[in-house]
Structure 1
């Protein structure tokens, strides 16, 4: 049997696609998630679903369990179990959804916010090391282009990124808005 050895990606953006895929895969890996869980002192050791749900609340502030289920890739009944574990730990609370009283929303408590701040600090410190030798203008240009890229992808995917991440990025005023960067 002969194995195919030619690269599958060619042409404009091939290196970009490979690099972006490598970055997303690496940063979304179990190893990276577990390291952040441990380094942040997450109070439910080893409970990755609870960690992921709390991470979603960092970006969303409050959310419906259904939205959380989609975001962390599990069913709504499982989200209810995860929310219960987080409630027992004092990290989240529930209340009726002000837009639809038949549903509930989940949000961080003061203790949950403290844990979330530790998670953000651990994640941010990794970026500080990565960009410590970058000029401010280089970082600002990268930041503007990444925000533009993700916003454009989100627009083309009917806001799938926003729905799954809870993050709404600012949209450039025009296609040329970052060309001066």
Structure 2
């Protein structure tokens, strides 16, 4: 055997992307934890800010979260006073979700923490390489379509 164990696997772009993604998730999760937040809380708060007031079902579709899981996240966020769920004025059968002032402040802190974590992830790259790397990730993720 001429190669080190798993050398062929560990050189695959998919393996390397997975490792980089895991490191990125870990850095962001740790940074958010300092703020008292979890990854899905950050995602949901961000989406609520961008879409509010948003029907709960539309919010779940926007973030790609199963409705049962979304209810749990929203319950936690509402209990912490970070979001409001009120009857949707356009359809009283639905809940509309919006941020509270506390939710907005937490989201600002989470966004700063996530940016700093991503800066740490990309620290080995020059600013030009960061831009190129991000552009390439967008292309291979299919987001540019």
Query: What is the CA RMSD across the aligned residues, in angstroms?
Result: 3.5
Question: Is residue 26 of structure 2 the alignment partner of residue 18 of structure 1?
Answer: no
Q: Alpha carbons of 1:26 and 1:139: their partners in 2 closer, same or farther (altered >3 Å)? A: closer
- 2:81 is paired with a residue whose SS is coil
Structure 1 residues 138 and 80: alpha-carbon distance in aligned structure 2, compared to 1, 3 A threshold: closer
Counting only pairs closer than 5 Å after superposition, residues 123-142 of structure 1 correspond to structure 2 as 123-132=114-123, 134-142=125-133
TM-score (norm. length: structure 2): 0.66
Q: 2: distance between equivalents of 1:113 and 1:129?
A: 24
What's the counterpart of residue 53 of structure 1?
A: 41
Cα distance in 2 for residues equivalent to 1:101 and 1:57: 22
Between Structure 1 and Structure 2, which shows a larger proportion of helix residues?
Answer: 2
1:68 to 60, 66, 71: 60
Structure 2 portions without partners, runs of 5+: none
Measured after TM superposition, the shift of residue 57 of structure 1 is: 2.7
Q: Residues 168-179 of structure 1 correspond to what in structure 2 (within 5 A)? A: 169=143, 171=144
Name the structure, 1 or 2, with higher relative contact order (CA <8 Å, separation 6+): 2
TM-superposed deviation, 1:145: 1.5
- For structure 1, the 5+ residue unaligned runs are 43-47, 153-168, 173-181
Moved more, 19-28 or 79-88: 79-88
Q: Deviations over 1:99-145 (max 9, x none)?
A: 75532232322210110111111111122234456433222212221
Q: 2:71 — aligned with what?
A: 80
Does structure 2 retain, via aligned residues, the 8 Å contact 1:94–1:105?
A: yes
**2:8, 2:86 → 1: CA distance?**
49
